[in-house]
Structure 1
Amino acid sequence: MTGKNSIEGSINEHNPYLHRKLYSPIDQELDILDCEVLEGHVPNDFHGSYVRNGPNPQFEPKGRHHWYDGDGMLHAVYVEDGRVSYRNKYIQTEVFEREKAAGQTLWGGLFEDPKNNPADMPIRDTSWTDVIFHNSNLLTLYYGTGVPYKVDPKTLETIGKETFKGKLLDKVSAHAKVDEHTGEMLFFDYFTKPPYMTYGVVSADGELTTCVPINLPGARLPHDMAFTKHYSILMDLPLFHDEEALKNGRYKIKFYRDLPARFGIIPRHGTSDQLRWFEAKPCYIYHVVNSWEDGDEVVMVGCRMPEPIPDISHIKRSDWVRRMSAIRKLKAYMYYWRFNLKTGKVTEGPLDDMVSEFPVVNLSYAGRKSNYSYHVLYSPEEDVSFEGIAKYDISTGAKSEKYLFGKGRYGNEPAFAPRINSKTEDDGYVLTFVYDEIEDRSELLILDAQHFSLGPIARIKMPQRVPMGAHATWVQGDQL
């Protein structure tokens, strides 16, 4: 990270998301062909790429820095024939290019008034949140909604904004989904003015084929969606803008406990009048595990937050860094919902009482019946960090296995990599980046998914520190 003024003595002097090495940005973009194996061996029965997105500011921030303000940077490892290579690159968003040309930050972040940002782009959309694989390319997506960017999966070079053959009307949510069985991509967008949401489907060859408005009571803040073979599931959850504040141009989020959580089920290529709403207990959901059809029912499993806004009244308003960290801790639990399409009845309940988040599955099972998912476990410390991974098996009532990284070691969202010619859902490997604060070293861990709690079968040294990031994906080698 560079800039014209020193952070020392500034409002960000003690901001861990700029100074603690677990989070702090790096300057180099590297391309390393052969990484050192520290322990174990890299299996030669899987081939592909683990890619993780995350915020990495290129310049010193303008005003108070929120972790979500960083520029998008992809870190990728490529596994083939028992060898691992690594590269990382910034996502060349419009924000990144304009600030690079200016030599400094032009936008204030989430803590600052957007009225002071460039008038043509009040939101600092840096595409740092998620990364998916669709139509032979990576797509990077932004927290909330933003412009999707197309990236070459082998070189990580940014190709440009993705418009789906010129048909994209606005933006794309942070968590679009890809059905590997059809190649289609499903997404939503949301707004503070009518229409409050749109739902879309993109064909396997990258053309927007469905785009319909979704009727909501007002402005909402959905984060994720789900899909099955024939349906998509959209959300109207009771965590959203305070309407009076919004009318006055301010953003204040409230949890409305007297309102139900609503789930809209729409045929994949359906119209607005085919959408059916189902009501459940109030909550918020950042991340869905998976969804599928079971007779007359649509089943969804996700990480449910019964109290999405933590009590931070004991933290002084002036201590905005601690307040940010507290809010970013997602206290969520494995949970299921069953929506009966014939009777309209909803059955729901907990699957586990352990806090876990950032779930991933074998992507070839997304939208189909699955048993296994892999979640990060939050460390007890105040800053947001992940101390391990849990493997859930919902066929046995969400029984879980854990692997903890060890003292001073923190992980990232993992990805599941199937073995070549895999036979079962969990026949493969779980990959994640881990940073060791004691050794000041980042590693790639490879765990055998069928012997999960035994720990990594390989630890590979990364050629540079990989700061903690957001979401990740796995791309099969034959798709590269």
Structure 2
Amino acid sequence: MPFPATLDYMGLNKPVGQEVSIKGLKPSEGTIPADVRGAFFRAVPDPQFEPFFVPDTALSDDGMISRVLFNEDGTVDYDIKYVQTPRWKAEHDAGRRLFGRYRNPYTNDPSVEGVEGTVSNTTPIWHAGTLLMTKEDGPAMRIDPATLDTIGAYDFGGALKSKTMTAHVRVDPETKEMFVYGYEADGLCSKTMSYWWTDAQGKLVREQFFEAPFCSLVHDFTITQDHAIFPLQPTTADLEIVKDKGPHWVHKPDLEYHLGVMPRYGDVSDIRWFKGPKGVSSFHMMNAFTTPDGKVHMDHHVTDTIAFPHIQADSGINVPPSMLGGGFQRWTVDLSSDSDTVEVTPLGPPGDMPRIAKKDEGRNYSIGYYCSMDPQMKGPPVMGGVVGAMFSALLRKDFVTGAISGYNLPPAHGMSETVHVASSEPGHEGWLVAIVDHELGPDRYEHAVWIWNAGDLPAGPVTKIPIPTRMRPQVHGWWVPMAEYRTATAA
């Protein structure tokens, strides 16, 4: 059976379905900076089998864990394997797709009733020497960082009670604690959320449950040194609709975006809910910080409505990517006031996939980076990724001066999210590393790892390392320095 002729399975999104191992790759341009030694883990959706529910979404595709390993000798190894979730195993054994509509178990083949349905295709997470692959609709899956083999579902030694774990955790750079949440934490379409944190060794310290104002697609959250922030966008789930084999998510243009703010180490009974603009959407937070005047500031990428085509279709919305509006914004709430409103401050042009230096997590910071689109592109964007078009620009925001600088990719090039690599040189901003795809013609692509000096994006990449195999776009990635990687893989 062929895959559907939709954006989710055409062009750069054409399924590859291959586990690959390539050793000893070398740069075609420039040299790899000495700081860039370690593992760049990537989450890559890639389906084993064609869907039987059409239209489908790439968000339903099986997860693959990819590793770009920058060796001490200056060579690079590339490896990718399927995450063998219970769903992957059931479908692999059957030789066909058994799970139906996106996140709707009532449309599945009866043979997989009760089988965990997460595909673990969104974010690789590294903490305390443990590598996890995550998607927010189920448990994390632990991966062997050396072999990339799947070890199994991970519940923090049996301590975690939440049925779900976010794909976006936050790690404090000083305490090394990891802060985590899960939504639909006790069941499908539930308003119940879970919030927990671990110590530096990965041991779960405290898990708490609370009821959100509505069941929201809470894709990301963020922390400050004093607070945890839960962003509820107005994309909601209704169990009766799901039972009727309808969509899991419907976007509500007339519903306010909600922010829940609580003390980072406090009790969930202390959450205060604030209301932002109606109908807006945001999936990724760059950072947040608390100031001495009692204000909490959150920087994120906002669109005027939901960006995902399948959710738009299920919500009766039809807004192309070029018309989504919004931009990079700072939202501020005042904890010293009785007001429940959000102050919105524009920061920059639209974009997504934000990145900061790990040392700045939860702090009042000066520099951030994100992907965007070249406003003067010569030719159409490279089609691919979960929203249908790849990014064509990389931006640097200076929060001290307000300046924005960046780099526009050449025509027919697209990029995925970067990772930031710290520099050993005092005063150096470090490096940004990403996979860049070049469209050579119909269904013809070449792929390479590009490295930029984070403090001088307009100068262009300092290094390019070709990867000679067909690659599908990633969702998110994680950088692990070589010392941490070697310690974990030698254990």
1:423 corresponds to which of 422, 426, 448: 426
* Other-structure match for 2:182: 189
* Other-structure match for 1:406: 410
The answer to whether 1:205 aligns with 2:201 is yes
CA distance 1:311–1:372, change in 2 (3 Å): same
SS of equivalent residue, structure 2 residue 209: strand
* Other-structure match for 1:216: 212
* Other-structure match for 1:240: 236
SS of equivalent residue, structure 2 residue 455: helix
Q: Which amino acid aligns with 1:275?
A: I
2:337 corresponds to which of 328, 343, 346: 343
Unaligned runs of 5+ in 1: 1-5
* Other-structure match for 1:141: 134
Q: Residues 162-181 of structure 1: matches in 2 within 5 Å?
A: 162-169=154-161, 170-181=163-174
Q: CA deviation at 1:204?
A: 2.5
Q: Residues 278-297 of structure 1: matches in 2 within 5 Å?
A: 278-282=274-278, 283-295=280-292, 296-297=294-295
Q: CA deviation at 1:359?
A: 0.9
Please, what TM-score do these two structures have when normalized by structure 1? 0.86
Q: Residues 104-143 of structure 1: matches in 2 within 5 Å?
A: 104-110=96-102, 114-117=106-109, 118=111, 120-121=113-114, 124-142=117-135
Cα distance in 2 between the residues matched to 1:261 and 1:69: 26
Q: Which moved more, 1:345-354 or 1:215-224?
A: 345-354
Aligned residue pairs total 460
Cα distance in 1 between the residues matched to 2:152 and 2:308: 38
* Other-structure match for 1:3: none
Q: Residues 68-467 of structure 1: matches in 2 within 5 Å?
A: 68-81=59-72, 82-110=74-102, 114-117=106-109, 118=111, 120-121=113-114, 124-142=117-135, 144-169=136-161, 170-191=163-184, 192=188, 196-241=192-237, 245=241, 250-251=246-247, 253-282=249-278, 283-295=280-292, 296-308=294-306, 326=320, 332-344=326-338, 348-378=343-373, 381=381, 383-397=388-402, 399-419=403-423, 421-424=424-427, 427-438=429-440, 440-467=445-472
Q: Residues 6-25 of structure 1: matches in 2 within 5 Å?
A: 6-7=1-2, 12-20=3-11, 22-25=12-15
Asked if the contact 1:75–1:466 (Cα under 8 Å) also holds between the matched residues in 2, the reply is no
Q: Which amino acid aligns with 1:290?
A: N
Q: Which moved more, 1:124-133 or 1:377-386?
A: 377-386
SS of equivalent residue, structure 1 residue 395: coil
Q: CA deviation at 1:429?
A: 0.7
2:17 corresponds to which of 24, 27, 35: 27
SS of equivalent residue, structure 1 residue 355: coil
Q: CA deviation at 1:43?
A: 1.4
CA distance 1:330–1:376, change in 2 (3 Å): farther
Cα distance in 1 between the residues matched to 2:291 and 2:229: 15
Q: Which amino acid aligns with 1:266?
A: M
* Other-structure match for 2:489: none
Q: Which amino acid aligns with 1:372?
A: I
Asked if the contact 1:108–1:124 (Cα under 8 Å) also holds between the matched residues in 2, the reply is no
CA deviations on 1:287-324 (whole Å, 9 max, x unpaired) are 100011221222211112233369999x9x7xx9xx99
Cα distance in 2 between the residues matched to 1:361 and 1:307: 25
Asked if the contact 1:298–1:340 (Cα under 8 Å) also holds between the matched residues in 2, the reply is yes
Asked if the contact 2:123–2:168 (Cα under 8 Å) also holds between the matched residues in 1, the reply is yes
Please, what TM-score do these two structures have when normalized by structure 2? 0.85
Q: Which amino acid aligns with 1:444?
A: V
SS of equivalent residue, structure 1 residue 440: strand
Cα distance in 2 between the residues matched to 1:163 and 1:312: 31
* Other-structure match for 2:377: none
SS of equivalent residue, structure 1 residue 337: strand
Q: Which moved more, 1:253-262 or 1:48-57?
A: 253-262
Q: CA deviation at 1:190?
A: 1.8
Cα distance in 1 between the residues matched to 2:78 and 2:318: 32
Cα distance in 1 between the residues matched to 2:288 and 2:404: 19
Asked if the contact 2:87–2:115 (Cα under 8 Å) also holds between the matched residues in 1, the reply is no
Q: Which amino acid aligns with 1:334?
A: F
CA distance 1:84–1:324, change in 2 (3 Å): farther
Asked if the contact 1:331–1:356 (Cα under 8 Å) also holds between the matched residues in 2, the reply is no
Cα distance in 1 between the residues matched to 2:147 and 2:410: 33
Cα distance in 2 between the residues matched to 1:242 and 1:112: 11
Identity fraction in percent = 25
Q: Which moved more, 1:60-69 or 1:116-125?
A: 116-125
Q: Which amino acid aligns with 2:396?
A: K
* Other-structure match for 2:488: none
Cα distance in 1 between the residues matched to 2:248 and 2:141: 29
SS of equivalent residue, structure 1 residue 336: strand
Asked if the contact 1:50–1:78 (Cα under 8 Å) also holds between the matched residues in 2, the reply is yes
CA distance 1:415–1:329, change in 2 (3 Å): farther
The answer to whether 1:51 aligns with 2:41 is yes
SS of equivalent residue, structure 2 residue 93: helix
SS of equivalent residue, structure 2 residue 64: strand
Q: CA deviation at 1:353?
A: 4.9
Unaligned runs of 5+ in 2: 375-379, 486-491
CA distance 1:391–1:103, change in 2 (3 Å): same
Cα distance in 1 between the residues matched to 2:239 and 2:87: 29
Cα distance in 2 between the residues matched to 1:77 and 1:101: 29
Cα distance in 2 between the residues matched to 1:279 and 1:390: 29
Q: Which moved more, 1:207-216 or 1:441-450?
A: 207-216
Q: CA deviation at 1:246?
A: 5.8
Q: Which amino acid aligns with 2:302?
A: R
Asked if the contact 2:258–2:274 (Cα under 8 Å) also holds between the matched residues in 1, the reply is yes
CA distance 1:193–1:68, change in 2 (3 Å): closer
Cα distance in 1 between the residues matched to 2:479 and 2:167: 17
CA RMSD of aligned residues (A): 3.0
